[in-house]
């Protein structure tokens, strides 16, 4: 993962004719904090956990990035994610650099008390290298608003003053932002709509191969367009719900236990209620306000990716579209809501086939964008309504999309390359 992130940056920077030293500055993290944390477990014994906070680049502003708790986290992964945060924040046009934190731990094996002690120990250890104008952590895999609340509390105790803008993804009661929960799915929808509007208009040369399909594909309203969503967690669910409300037809969704195909379009909210009862979306064939076996059929996660839909939205795991299934992908647009769902090889293959791939650094940047809005609110001590937050998110996302689209059209390069070029231009122009 680290190698491919660095290779992508190097390749883009070389194409932009940046010199070797500048490329090194883009690749190497500015700081890499590595530490061992010791907490007392419920049985009275001490246990040691390894963790990192890696601060990649701060040319554009304070570092920004989540903290993950995962048994298989390694330093290289944390560094790669920190690097991609620098790119993502620059793509979205946010005044941030990139960072990431991680602890090797399976939080499901900890009691609530142990989880709180570990979260507080982590916050105490990084307290001297974070701050609202230094580095702003947020939740990531297996961390959540409650964990941010413990970390912020510990940080503020150490510092002796309130600083809500030092962490984002907090509970609303202590300065979290309205709209943060839905932000990544909502941002994904804004990007998709902006793309479809472009495709509906003049189709640029880069998209020549798609001219036929794109013209057939794009109709207004978007209700004729079918979407399959892999993953029905925070990102997948809200994307499905909001797209459904916008008139798209969601024909398939899945989670780790399996999926459903509902040819005439499913109802995400009712599917979520059914999932809550059953523990999975598998078996939930819900249309309108009713779930009934006659509406659909079961589908595996592999089949979902290969459905003949207009738009495929991987919103669960990385590397799910790879050399094993790339030739079976039939969607004409892939919106990368998960981080890194398409391998390098599959990406090259699908790009040659003129599949439009909206890269993760743009497609899922709605999350960090509302984190930014939470930070702004925390710094100002002035809080916006959900509508105000959503309106600001739309403006930022559409602006980011427009810049990347323009670059893609002007240079006849895929959106991913355009996104990396825009990000690298922004970062290097701020490097003094």
Contact region with ligand NAD (CB under 6 A), list: 6-14, 89-97, 191-199, 313-321: 313-321
Nearest-5° Cα angle at 191, 350 to 244: 95
- What SS3 state is found at 418? helix
The torsion angles phi and psi of 297, rounded to 5 degrees, stand at: -145, 160
Positions in 246-265 near ligand NAD (CB under 6 A): 254-256
Among the listed residues 175, 231, 268, 414, the single contact to ligand NAD using CB under 6 A: 231
CA distance 139 to 147: 8
Binding of residue 372 to ligand NAD (CB under 6 A): no
* Residues of the chain by 3-state class (helix, strand, coil), percent to 5: 50, 20, 30
Is 5 a binder of ligand NAD (CB under 6 A)? no
Among 151, 262, 338, 358, binds ligand NAD (CB under 6 A): 338
Q: Smallest gap, in angstroms, from Cβ of residue 252 to ligand NAD?
A: 11
Number of residues that bind ligand NAD (CB under 6 A): 20
Only one residue has tokens 């999309």, namely 401
Nearer to ligand NAD, 164 or 367 (CB): 367
Residue 259 to residue 302: CA distance in whole angstroms: 10
- Residue 226 sits in the site that holds ligand NAD (CB under 6 A): no
Given 41, 174, 270, 317, the residue binding ligand NAD (CB under 6 A): 317
Q: Are strands 46-57 and 63-70 parallel, antiparallel or unpaired?
A: unpaired
For 191, counting Cβ atoms within 10 Å of its Cβ (0-12 exposed, 13-18 middle, 19+ buried), the class is buried
57 part of the interface to ligand NAD, by CB under 6 A: no
Which residue in the set 123, 229, 337, 409 belongs to the binding site for ligand NAD (CB under 6 A)? 337
Six token digits for residue 206: 């880069």
Asked if 87 touches ligand NAD (CB under 6 A), the answer is no
CA atoms in the 13 A half-sphere facing the CB of 147: 21
Stretch that binds ligand NAD, among 150-158, 229-237, 343-351, 405-413 (CB under 6 A): 229-237
Backbone angles phi, psi at 262, to 5 degrees: -125, 100
Site residues for ligand NAD, 175-194, by CB under 6 A, read 184
339 sits near ligand NAD (criterion: CB under 6 A): yes
164 binds ligand NAD (CB under 6 A): no
Minimum Å distance from CB 275 to ligand NAD? 9
**Structure tokens given for 117:** 């002690």
> Is 33 in contact with 56 (CB distance < 8 Å)?
no
Q: Which of 175, 367, 378, 414 binds ligand NAD (CB under 6 A)?
A: 367
> For residue 1, what are the CA distances in angstroms to 136, 318, 393?
23, 10, 29
Catalytic residue ranges: 100
- CA distance between the termini of the chain: 29
How far apart CA 175 and CA 28 sit, in angstroms, is 33
Residue 230 is a binding residue for ligand NAD (CB under 6 A): yes
Distance CA 172, CA 286 (A): 32
Interaction of residue 232 with ligand NAD, rule CB under 6 A:
yes
Considering only the stretches 93-101, 192-200, 228-236, 284-292, report the one whose residues sit in contact with ligand NAD under the rule CB under 6 A.
228-236
**Separation of alpha carbons 41 and 51, rounded Å:** 17
Q: Which stretch binds ligand NAD (CB under 6 A): 28-36, 69-77, 230-238, 292-300?
A: 230-238
Stretch that binds ligand NAD, among 37-45, 109-117, 283-291, 314-322 (CB under 6 A): 314-322
What's the closest the beta carbon of residue 73 comes to ligand NAD, in angstroms?
A: 13
> Which residues contact ligand NAD by CB under 6 A?
184, 230-236, 254-256, 301, 315-317, 337-339, 364, 367
């Amino acid at each position: 993962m680290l190698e491919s992130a660095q290779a992508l940056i190097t390749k883009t920077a070389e194409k932009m004719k940046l010199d070797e030293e500048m490329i090194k500055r883009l690749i190497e993290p500015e700081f890499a904090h590595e530490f061992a944390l010791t907490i007392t477990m419920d049985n009275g014994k001490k246990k040691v956990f390894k963790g990192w906070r890696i601060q990649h680049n701060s040319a554009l502003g304070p570092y920004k990035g989540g903290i993950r708790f995962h048994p298989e986290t390694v330093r290289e992964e944390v560094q790669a994610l920190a690097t991609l945060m620098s790119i993502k924040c620059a793509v979205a046009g946010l005044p941030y650099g990139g960072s990431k934190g991680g602890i090797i731990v399976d939080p499901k094996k900890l009691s609530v008390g142990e989880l709180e002690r570990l979260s507080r120990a982590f916050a105490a250890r990084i307290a001297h290298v974070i701050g609202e104008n230094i580095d702003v952590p947020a939740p990531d895999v297996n961390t959540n608003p409650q964990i941010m609340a413990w970390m912020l509390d510990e940080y503020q105790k150490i510092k002796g003053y309130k600083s809500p803008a030092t962490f984002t993804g907090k509970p609303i009661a202590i300065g979290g932002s309205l709209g943060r929960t839905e932000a990544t799915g909502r941002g994904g929808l804004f990007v998709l709509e902006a793309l479809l509007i472009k495709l509906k208009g003049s189709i640029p040369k880069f998209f020549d191969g798609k001219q036929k399909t794109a013209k057939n594909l794009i109709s207004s309203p978007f209700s004729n367009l079918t979407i399959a969503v892999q993953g029905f967690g925070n990102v997948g669910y809200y994307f499905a719900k909001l797209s459904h409300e916008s008139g798209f037809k969601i024909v398939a969704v899945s989670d780790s236990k399996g999926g459903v195909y509902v040819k005439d379009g499913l109802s995400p909210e009712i599917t979520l209620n059914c999932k809550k009862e059953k523990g999975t979306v598998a078996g939930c064939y819900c249309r309108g306000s009713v779930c009934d076996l006659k509406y659909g059929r079961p589908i595996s996660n592999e089949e979902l990716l290969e459905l003949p839909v207009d738009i495929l939205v991987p919103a669960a795991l990385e590397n799910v579209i790879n050399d094993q299934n790339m030739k079976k992908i039939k969607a004409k647009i892939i919106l990368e809501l998960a981080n890194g769902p398409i391998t390098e090889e599959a990406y090259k293959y699908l790009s040659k086939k003129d599949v439009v791939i909206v890269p993760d650094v743009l497609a899922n940047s709605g999350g960090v964008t509302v984190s930014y809005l939470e930070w702004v609110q925390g710094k100002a001590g002035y809080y916006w309504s959900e509508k105000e937050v959503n309106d600001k998110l739309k403006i930022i996302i559409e602006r980011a999309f427009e810049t990347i689209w323009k670059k893609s059209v002007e240079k006849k390069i895929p959106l991913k390359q355009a996104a990396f070029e825009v990000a690298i231009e922004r970062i290097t122009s701020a490097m003094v």
